[in-house]
Amino acid sequence: MAAATQRRPQRRWHWTRILIYAVLILFAIWYLMPIYILLMASFKSQAEALQIQNMWLPPRVIGFKSFQIAWFGSTEPPATLGLEQGFYNSLMLVIPATIISCFIGSINGYVLSKWKFRGADFLFTLMLFGMFLPYQSILIPLVVTYQNFARLTGIQLFATIPGLVVAHVIYGIPICTLIFRNYYAQIPTEMIEAARIDGANFFSIYRRILLPLSQPAFVVVVIWQFTSIWNDFLFGITLANTPKVYPITVSLNNIAGSFHVPYNVQMAAALLTALPPLLCYIILGRYFIRGLMAGSLKG
C-alpha cells in the first residue's frame, strides 16, 4: 500500500509539482509587487523618479533623498511636512497604550476564565461585540465627550496623546481580554486548586501561577495592540485634530494626499510608516499568526 501511494505522486511529479510551485511563485510575486514598487520609487533620485516610464525599473543610482524629505519634510517648494513628528507621536501613543492594554486584558482574562460568576459568559459576549463594532457608530459621542471633557474635569483629552491612549485602551479591552481568557482557560484548574489548599488567595494565584506562565499571551497581545494602534487612522484623524498630535498614518495620508508631493517621497513615507509593524511581523511572526487566529475568536 505504501508503495502504491508513493508511486503515484512520483509519476505525477513532473507537471503537477512544477505547476504548484509555479502558481505559488506567481502569487509570491503578486504579494511582493507593491513592496517592490515602494522600494524602486523610494531609492530613486528626484530626477530619475520623474522618468515615470521607468517606474517598474530599479534605480540606476541609489539615493536617499526621498527618505530624507519624507522624514524631515522640506521647506523648498513644494513645502512638505515630514513624518518625523507623526512617528514620535505614534511611538508615544503606542507604548503606553500597549502596556496598559496588556495588564487590563490579563487581569480581566484571569477573572473571566478562573472566577466565573453568574452571567460572566453573557457579559463576555457583550464585551466581544466591541471587537466588531464599526467605530463610526460611537464616533460622534466620543468626539463630543472628548471636546467637553476638559470643561467638566480639567483633563484635556481632545487633541492630546493621552486622549488617544485612552480611546485605544478602552476599545482594545475586548480583544485583549479575549486573548488572555482563552489562554488562561488552558491552564489546568487543578494547579490553582492545589495552590488554594496551600493558602494562596486571589492575588497570589494570579501573581505566582498565572503571570509567570503568561509570557506567550503577553507577546500576542503586545503584537496585536502595537500593530493595530500603529496602523489606526480613524481615531487619529478624528481625535487628534492638530499636526502636533497626528499619529503617523495621518501624517502619511497628508503627505500622500497633497498632489504636489513627488511620488517617490510619498512611497518613501509609506515605506517608513509600514516599517515598524513589518519588523514586528518579521521578528515575531509566529506569535503574530497566533494573534490573527485569536482575532477570529478561536482559542
Partner 1 sequence: MTQSAARAPILAAPRKRRLSRQNWERIVSILILLPSIIALGIFIYAFIGWTGFISLTAWNSAAPDFTFVGLQNYARLFVGGGTDMTRFHYDIRNEVGFLILFVGGCLVTGFLLATLLDRKIRGESIFRSIFLFPMAISFIVTGVAWRWILTPGTEETGWVGVNLLLTNLGLGGLRSAWFTDPTVFYIQPTTPLGEFLHSIGLGFITVPALGYAAAITSIVIAAGWQMSGYTMALYLAGIRSIPDDLREAARVDGASEWEIYRHVIIPLLKPVTLTVVIILAHIALKIFDLVYSMTGGVSAGFATDVPALNMWKTTFDATKFAQGASIAIILLLMVGVLIIPYLVWQTRQEAQ
Cell output for 196:
488554594
Residue 283 CB partners (closer than 8 Å, separation 6+): none
Looking at residue 206, the DSSP 8-state letter turns out to be I
Query: Any bridge partners for residue 73, and if so which?
Result: 81
- In angstroms, the CA 191 to CA 200 distance is 11
- In angstroms, the CA 79 to CA 73 distance is 7
Q: Closest distance between partner 1 and the C-beta of residue 259, in Å?
A: 9
Backbone φ and ψ for 238, nearest 5 degrees, come out as -90, -40
The b-or-e profile of 250-267 (16+ CB within 10 A means b, else e) is bbbbbbbeeeebbbbbbb
- In angstroms, the CA 299 to CA 292 distance is 11
Q: Closest distance between partner 1 and the C-beta of residue 281, in Å?
A: 4
Q: Closest distance between partner 1 and the C-beta of residue 94, in Å?
A: 12
Q: Closest distance between partner 1 and the C-beta of residue 245, in Å?
A: 16
CB 49 within 8 A of CB 262: yes
Q: Closest distance between partner 1 and the C-beta of residue 279, in Å?
A: 9
Residue 70 CB partners (closer than 8 Å, separation 6+): 42, 82, 83, 255, 265, 266, 268, 269, 272
Q: Closest distance between partner 1 and the C-beta of residue 276, in Å?
A: 10
